[in-house]
Every structure is written in C-alpha cells, then in structure tokens.
Structure 1
Amino acid sequence: MKTTYIKLSLAGALLLGIYSCKKGETSSSNLEAYATTDSAAVISDSISSVASMKVKDKQFIKTADVDMEVKDVYETTISIEKSVQELGGFVTKSNLQSNVVSENTYDTSDENAVLVKKYQTENRMQLRVPTERLGELLTMINDKKLFLNSRLINAEDITSSIKYAQLESKRIEKNSKNISELKSNKDKVELDNQNMDEGNQQQLANMDVTDNLKYSTVDVYLKEPKIRVAEIAITNTNNIDDKYKFDFIYSTKTAFVEGYYLIQKIFVGLITIWPILLIGAIVFYFARKRKPVKKHPDTEA
C-alpha cells in the first residue's frame, strides 16, 4: 500500500503539465537539493543492511513492516513511542486494543460476584523516522521481541526518477517563458489558470517525494502470545433479581387496583353506547309484543 502511494505521488510529480516559472524553480530546487546531498550516514545495523544501505549517487525511499510477539504490548508501545521521539521521528498511528476471548461471571456471595475476562492485547502502529536513523529504530524494536513473525524492509531506488523530474523542470520552465510571450487573450488566460493549478499540484507531489526520502515509514504489529485474565469485582446481579423478582402483597394490591380500574372502564364503555342499548331494548320489546300466542286444543275430560 505504501509503495503504491509513493509511486502515485512520484508519477504526479513527473507527469503533470506546464506550470509557472517561479513555482517550477521552487519545487525543482528543493527536490534537487535533497537528491544531491549525503542523505544517510553509514550506521552499523546488525539486523539488516537494507535499513542503513548507502550507495553513491543513489537515492532510496525506505519502508519497513514488522510483525512480532512481545511480553507486554502496552509497555512495548510506550517504549517504542518514546524511542521514536528521541530519534527525531513521530507516531502517525497507534491502535491498541484488547480482544476478549471469553467472559464469565461467578457469584462469590449473596452481594458480590467476580467477572472473569480472558483477552489478548494487540497494537498496530505506524511510525515515521528520519531515514538515516531507520537502522537504529529497527534494532531497538528487535530488542523488544519474544518472537519475530515477519519483517519486510524495502528500499526503492528513485534516482532516475529524480533526474527525470529535473529535466522536466527545465522543459516546463522553457514552455512557461513561451506562454508569457503570447498575446493576451482568452486562450492565454485559460493556459495561465491551468499552469497555476498544475504547478500547485506538482509542488505538492514533489513535497511528498521529498518527505518520503527524508522520513522512512515503519508499520509495526505487536501481539502478546498468551491470553491474559482480568478479574473484576462486581455486584451479584442474580441475587438482586431473585430478591425483587416477585412480591405477593404488592402484586395482589396492584391486581385489586387494576380490577377497580377495569370495572370503571367497563361502566364508562356502557354509558358511551347507551343509544345502541336503548334502541336494542325497544326493538326487543316490540318484538315480544307482536309475537302470536299459541292456542292449545281443549283436552277431553
């Protein structure tokens, strides 16, 4: 991921179009000055010669990726952060978290209980350190390990890209002078606006490349090999639930009150539908009144 970002930044610096003369001279001079300086002193690195590699007339963008297990992630994190600051670098990311494997509650009395958590701590860090101090940082990190899972150190040679950027700067400077000699019209204004925008973008891209040359990026993943256990004193919630789960007297009283309110609701409901009840009573009365009376035949004595 880091390599892709660096390549895109460099490509933006090299392939962007015409920009103003003043801006071109500024960004190009900064990049050229860094490219021609002695950027890294030779450091004795027992871990890897790539970290402190120095080749005459060559410029490298260096990155590293370390995956290892340590005794205590938190203490190692604090130590690494302090060492990075002492080396003139800085931390851009530190994501320390505990992954819970299991969680159980055990009652110890009617009032107390213990919450037992089993967890594993890890941290993902991203560090920026001066390139000439990369070897020292990796040596310090290596001293903290219990087991090294993997380590990747990359040195990307961008010497030819820097030379090409310098040649492009000269060509763009010449084109900028040619544009300044054009007659003032709508097309010249559009070209000038385009030059300013492209010049700003190229300056930003050159700054990114220069920063990546000056500071190396190190990604570190820390993990504890064993599961830790945390015992946390809590209240016995099961006993509390049992204590207040059911109260007969209170429930009986509540039932009487709710029954009283139910009777009120039924009574009010009957009052509400009194017209329907009245009409029903009238219909029932007349229906009974009109009902024919059956005659029984006389029986012989």
Structure 2
Amino acid sequence: MKTTYIKLSLSALLLLGIYSCKKGEAAVSNERADYTADAATATTDSISSAATMTVKDKQFIKTADVNMEVKDVYEATVSIEKSVHDLGGFVTHSNLSSNVVSEKTYNTSGENAMLIKKFQSENTMQVRVPMEKLGELLTLINNKKLFLNSRIINAEDVTSGIKYAEMEAKRIKKTGENIDELKTNKDKVTLDNDNMAEGNLQQLANMDVSDNIKYSTVDIYIKEPKLRIAEIAVTNTSSLDNKYKFNFIYDAKNAFVEGFYLIQKIAVGLITIWPLLLILIAVFYFLRKRKLVKPESTKISEE
C-alpha cells in the first residue's frame, strides 16, 4: 500500500512538472507573438511616426522631403497626384522630364524606319496636404519606391512665434487707439498710415503661419534607376531624299529658263553702262584714226 502511494505521488509530481513546462512554453510563445506583432506595428508606424507626432499645447509646421527611385516615373507621378487629391491636398509644382541619352534611326525598309531613343525620366514635385494626412501620404509614397535615397521630415515648433504675434497684434491695436486720441494733423496721418501698414504685414504673416500649420509641404524627387528604350516608327527620310534628289526634265527646263533670264540681265547691264560703252567706242575710233594717219605721214617723209 505504501509503495502504491509513493508511485501515485511521483506520477502526480511528474504530471505537474510537465504541465508547468507546457504552460511556460505557451507563455513564452505568447510573449514572442506579442513582440512580433508590436515590432510589425512599430515598423509600419515608423514610416509616419515623425509626421504624425503631436504634443499638447504645441503648434508645429511640418514639412517633408523625399528622394527615391521608382519603376515608372509617369505612373508614380499620376498615382501620387491622385493620392494627394484624395487626401484633400493639391499639387503646387510638377516638372516631369525625360533626359535623352542617345537616339539613332535604323532603316527597316525603303519607306519605313525605327527611331530608338535611350532616356531616363525624372520628376520634381511639390505637394501640400492637410497636416493630419502627412503620415498617410508618406506611407502611400513609400509604397511606390524601388530604392529610397533620402527622406527628411521637419517639425518646426512655432508656438512661441504665435504667442509673440498675438502680443504684437495687441500692441499695434493699442498704438492705433493712442494715435486716434491725437489731434488731426499731418503727423497723425503719417503715424496712422505706418501703423496700419505694420498691422497689415502682421496679419499677412499670421495668415502664412496658419496656412503652413494647416497644410504640410512635401517636396518629392523621383527618377528611374536605369535607362529606358523607346521604339518610335518613323519615315525613311534617306529614301525620300534619294527619290527627289534629281529630276532631269525639271532641272533642264529650269536651266533653260535661268539662261534666258541671264541673257536679259546681261542686256540690262549693258544698257546701264551705255555712257562707258560710248566712251570706249570714241577712244577706239580715235586710236584707229591716229594709226591710219601716221603711216601716210611716214610715206610722205620718205619721198
């Protein structure tokens, strides 16, 4: 009986140990699963955590600068512009261009040819989105990348600047009230005008700060990592040049007409210089007459 009790006790302890081990392994597995889930969440949130940061009683102007490589610049541009529109933002600048590295034409037949262009596309964009949507936009942009060259996110604390602007508005208002109490003269008009101008500038600065807080500015530069090739069907210009390079009948006819015009030009030129021709004829006649007179004089002398 005692032996049976000891065996039962040992069995119970063994089962308890196994259960404890299983429970410990399960706890470790759960901790690992929770850690993996937290890590995945952190990885996802890290894309936009800096952009979505909020601090109580603080005002921030948030901007971002993204430089990355994409598979297709045009497709990425269209997608980013659509995402910006869907998030309630707008595009302020978009300069998409293709830098042609080389181009060459290959004749494929007597009439057709193929133009081969090697090029690389890029786009420089500037967009503005509501500040609370900045993180979401950066996540959507990140999904288009092949390689991220750089990403800069700035959060400028403008809380003190806003407080100072409020104090300046009060000062300008108080100055205006003091000016109103002065007697109306030339100096009062000048002071009132200067104070109003200062107030307008302050209101403009406040509007700019308010707009920059409400809408974040994102500068985006995207390009393709390798050269792309475009095949464009064109006309074989060499064949056309050879076809119309020489036309015997037309050229002969044209040469005959040009010769006729040349004769006319020569005739007109001779008419233009008729005084010179008249002088030459007179000189020629005088010289010839002199030669005829000289032999006769020589003959008389000999006799």
Give the TM bin, normalised by the shorter chain: 0.7 to 0.9
- The residue number in structure 2 matching 1:109 is 109
**Which runs of no fewer than 5 residues in structure 2 stay unpaired?**
1-43
Distance 2:73 2:174 in 1: 56
Instruction: Please state whether the residue corresponding to 1:290 is helix, strand or coil.
Output: helix
Aligned residue runs from structure 1 range 48-67, under 5 A:
48-67=48-67
Aligned residue runs from structure 1 range 194-233, under 5 A:
194-233=194-233
- Following superposition, the deviation at residue 272 of structure 1 comes to 2.9
The runs of at least 4 consecutive aligned structure 1 residues that moved more than 3 Å come to: 294-298
The C-alpha deviation readout for 1:140-159, integer Å capped at 9, x for no partner, is 11111110011111111111
- The residue number in structure 1 matching 2:93 is 93
The C-alpha deviation readout for 1:21-74, integer Å capped at 9, x for no partner, is xxxxxxxxxxxxxxxxxxxxxxx8321432111112211111100000111111
User: Which has the higher mean CA deviation after the structures are superposed, 96-105 or 165-174?
Assistant: 165-174
Q: Which amino acid aligns with 2:96?
A: L
- The residue number in structure 1 matching 2:8 is none
- Following superposition, the deviation at residue 184 of structure 1 comes to 0.8
- Following superposition, the deviation at residue 169 of structure 1 comes to 2.2
Contact preservation (8 Å) 1:45, 1:52: no
Instruction: Please state whether the residue corresponding to 1:58 is helix, strand or coil.
Output: coil
- Which structure shows the higher helix fraction? 2
Contact preservation (8 Å) 1:69, 1:149: yes
- The count of corresponding residues between Structure 1 and Structure 2 is 255
Distance 2:232 2:73 in 1: 21
Q: 1:49 to 1:271 in 2, by over 3 A?
A: same
- The residue number in structure 1 matching 2:185 is 185
The C-alpha deviation readout for 1:125-145, integer Å capped at 9, x for no partner, is 111111111111111111111
Distance 2:265 2:86 in 1: 79
Contact preservation (8 Å) 2:48, 2:139: no
Instruction: Please state whether the residue corresponding to 2:114 is helix, strand or coil.
Output: strand
**Which runs of no fewer than 5 residues in structure 1 stay unpaired?**
1-43
Higher relative contact order (CA 8 A, sep 6+): 1
- The residue number in structure 1 matching 2:31 is none
Instruction: Please state whether the residue corresponding to 1:261 is helix, strand or coil.
Output: helix
- Following superposition, the deviation at residue 222 of structure 1 comes to 1.1
In the alignment, does 2:137 pair up with 1:137?
yes
- Following superposition, the deviation at residue 295 of structure 1 comes to 3.5
- The residue number in structure 2 matching 1:152 is 152
- The residue number in structure 2 matching 1:253 is 253
Q: 1:268 to 1:165 in 2, by over 3 A?
A: closer
Distance 1:295 1:172 in 2: 124
Instruction: Please state whether the residue corresponding to 2:45 is helix, strand or coil.
Output: coil
Distance 2:240 2:157 in 1: 69
Distance 2:66 2:217 in 1: 11
Contact preservation (8 Å) 1:46, 1:139: no
Provide the TM-score with structure 2 as the length reference: 0.79
Provide the TM-score with structure 1 as the length reference: 0.79
Contact preservation (8 Å) 2:172, 2:195: no
Contact preservation (8 Å) 1:100, 1:120: yes
Give the alignment's Cα RMSD to 1 decimal. 1.9
Distance 1:172 1:201 in 2: 11
- The residue number in structure 1 matching 2:40 is none
The C-alpha deviation readout for 1:71-102, integer Å capped at 9, x for no partner, is 11112112111111221211111111211111
Contact preservation (8 Å) 1:106, 1:115: yes
- The residue number in structure 2 matching 1:176 is 176
Q: Which amino acid aligns with 2:218?
A: V
Distance 1:269 1:171 in 2: 91
Q: 1:178 to 1:265 in 2, by over 3 A?
A: same
Distance 2:176 2:274 in 1: 97
Identity among equivalent positions (%) equals: 73
- The residue number in structure 1 matching 2:10 is none
Distance 1:127 1:45 in 2: 22
Distance 1:267 1:81 in 2: 74
Distance 1:45 1:217 in 2: 20
